[in-house]
Amino acid sequence: MFKNLVGIFWLVFTASAAAHPVIFNDGIVVSSSNMESYSDNQLLYTFTNKWSTGVNHWRFSQGKEITELGLVRLNHLLWRRNADDSQANIYLLSGIGMMDSENDAQGTSEAYMGGFEFDWETRTLFTALKHYYFSGPSLADFSMTQMRIGVSPFEAGFEELQSWLMLQVMYMPEVDSTIVVTPMLRFFYKNVLWEFGSSTRGEWMLNLMVHY
Amino acid sequence: MKKTILIMLCTFSLSAFAGEITVKVSGMVCSLCAQGIKKKYSEIEAVKEVKVNLDTKLVHIQTKDGMDVSDTQINNLIKEAGYNVVSIERK
């Protein structure tokens, strides 16, 4: 019973990072997610309403050791449900490129990334779950899971400022056993979204995303 | 006098072709994501103005005089923006 409840909670009250993997046809999305422990910068072009491609740079910092990945991305909108007052999506995420680590044992090599993202939102509720898996010949495989829940105190109009109170939970079990919880504020106005917050271990977070 | 009548006739006949289209759309909950709808319709030559209302889930399209946007085009553009058309109403 408890496991079921945890499972339901996981699925319903979870979330993703700031980036939208696939937007409208012929749309470009630029996004930057930044914490002290990692950064994720993406430039994606949606070439049909179900597929996008682009470039993605990751930077992971574990103590003084920094690992960077440069990937060419291919994302797919696997499933979407448009309801009257909500929208739900499942995306498949992939990337291939190179990694570079300050760790001599890892050095420079090819790198691969796979993952998925689920989100469900109304005008005042937002939930999402994102999972990434990173691998490569000389890369110690690791994963990143991000969950989010958000509440907006009011329904803003189409060209009005929308405000959200968000909570992000991030877990990278192969890198750090700590579950990082980050309360944050999210705003969006027209085609620009920005978020900022601070984690329970004092890490700042700053995210920005623009749709063109 | 004849010229005046002719100009008036031309004006009225062209105005008759200018129209308003109201499209009911499902899944339109995020204003950031729905910007795509405005962008897609603004690219169409026949479209004079586009207004999106998240409360009513309606997209109001005003066409230029003497021009029109077909139902197929409306459906395709909404689909390309990531949403579904529920209904199309013309005035």
| Greater model confidence, A206 or B33 | A206
Q: State CA A7 to chain mean position distance.
A: 20
B55 in a domain, yes or no?
yes
B7 in a domain, yes or no?
no
**Helix, strand, coil distribution of chain A in percent, nearest 5:** 5, 65, 30
Contacts of B46 (CB under 8 A, 6+ apart): B63, B64, B67, B68, B69
B10 in a domain, yes or no?
no
The helix/strand/coil state of A178 is strand
Say what the pLDDT of residue A7 is: 43
Chain B hits for A156, CB-CB cut-off 8 Å, are: 31, 54
Instruction: Tell me the CATH number at B28.
Output: 3.30.70.100
Which of B30, B40, B56, B73 should we substitute to test contact with A (largest number of A Cβ atoms within 10 Å)? B30
Say what the pLDDT of residue B2 is: 61
Say what the pLDDT of residue B22 is: 96
The pLDDT tens digits for A111-136 are 999 999 999 999 999 999 999 999 99
CA distance B28 to B26: 6
Contacts of A38 (CB under 8 A, 6+ apart): A58, A59, A60, A61, A144
CA angle A26, A185, A168 (to 5 degrees): 85
B12 in a domain, yes or no?
no
Complete edge-to-edge strand list for the sheet that includes strand B58-63: B47-53, B58-63, B20-26, B84-90
Which residue from B29, B33, B54 is facing A86, i.e. has the nearest CB? B29
A18, pLDDT greater than 70: no
Rounded to a whole number, what is the distance in Å from the CA of B22 to chain A's nearest CA?
Answer: 16
B3 in a domain, yes or no?
no
Say what the pLDDT of residue A177 is: 86
**Any bridge partners for residue B88, and if so which?**
B23
A143, pLDDT greater than 80: yes
Burial environment of residue B8 by CB neighbours within 10 A (0 to 12, 13 to 18, 19 or more): exposed
B78, pLDDT greater than 80: yes
Say what the pLDDT of residue A8 is: 40
**What would the mean pLDDT of A40-44 be, rounded to a whole number?**
96
The domain tally of chain B equals 1
B11, pLDDT greater than 80: no
Say what the pLDDT of residue B1 is: 57
What is the average pLDDT value for chain A, to the nearest integer? Answer: 89
B39 in a domain, yes or no?
yes
Say what the pLDDT of residue A83 is: 95
H or E element in which residue B14 lies: helix B2-17
CB A90 within 8 A of CB A118: yes
- Encoded amino acid at A130, one letter: K
| Greater model confidence, A66 or B3 | A66
A83 touches chain B (CB under 8 A): yes
Band (pLDDT 50/70/90 cuts) for residue A4 is low
Say what the pLDDT of residue B14 is: 43
**What would the mean pLDDT of A48-52 be, rounded to a whole number?**
95
User: Which tokens is A188 given?
Assistant: 């969006």
| Greater model confidence, B7 or A146 | A146
Domain ranges across chain A: 2-211
Say what the pLDDT of residue B4 is: 60
Which residue from B26, B81, B84 is facing A24, i.e. has the nearest CB? B81
Q: State CA A209 to chain mean position distance.
A: 11
A54, pLDDT greater than 50: yes
Cross-chain residue pair B80–A25, CB shorter than 8 Å: yes
- The chain A residue lying nearest B86, using CA atoms, is A84
B11 in a domain, yes or no?
no
- Percent of chain A past pLDDT 90, that is, above it, reads 76
The closest of B36, B86, B84 to A87, measured between CA atoms, is B84
Domain that holds residue B22: 18-90
B56 touches chain A (CB under 8 A): no
Band (pLDDT 50/70/90 cuts) for residue A45 is very high
The pLDDT tens digits for A63-83 are 778 999 999 999 999 999 999
Complex ipTM: 0.80
| CATH number assigned to the domain with residue range A2-211, chosen from the 4 options 3.30.390.50, 1.50.10.10, 3.20.20.120, 2.40.160.40 | 2.40.160.40
B48 in a domain, yes or no?
yes
Cross-chain residue pair A24–B33, CB shorter than 8 Å: yes
User: Which tokens is A55 given?
Assistant: 């470039």
Band (pLDDT 50/70/90 cuts) for residue A152 is very high
A212, pLDDT greater than 90: yes
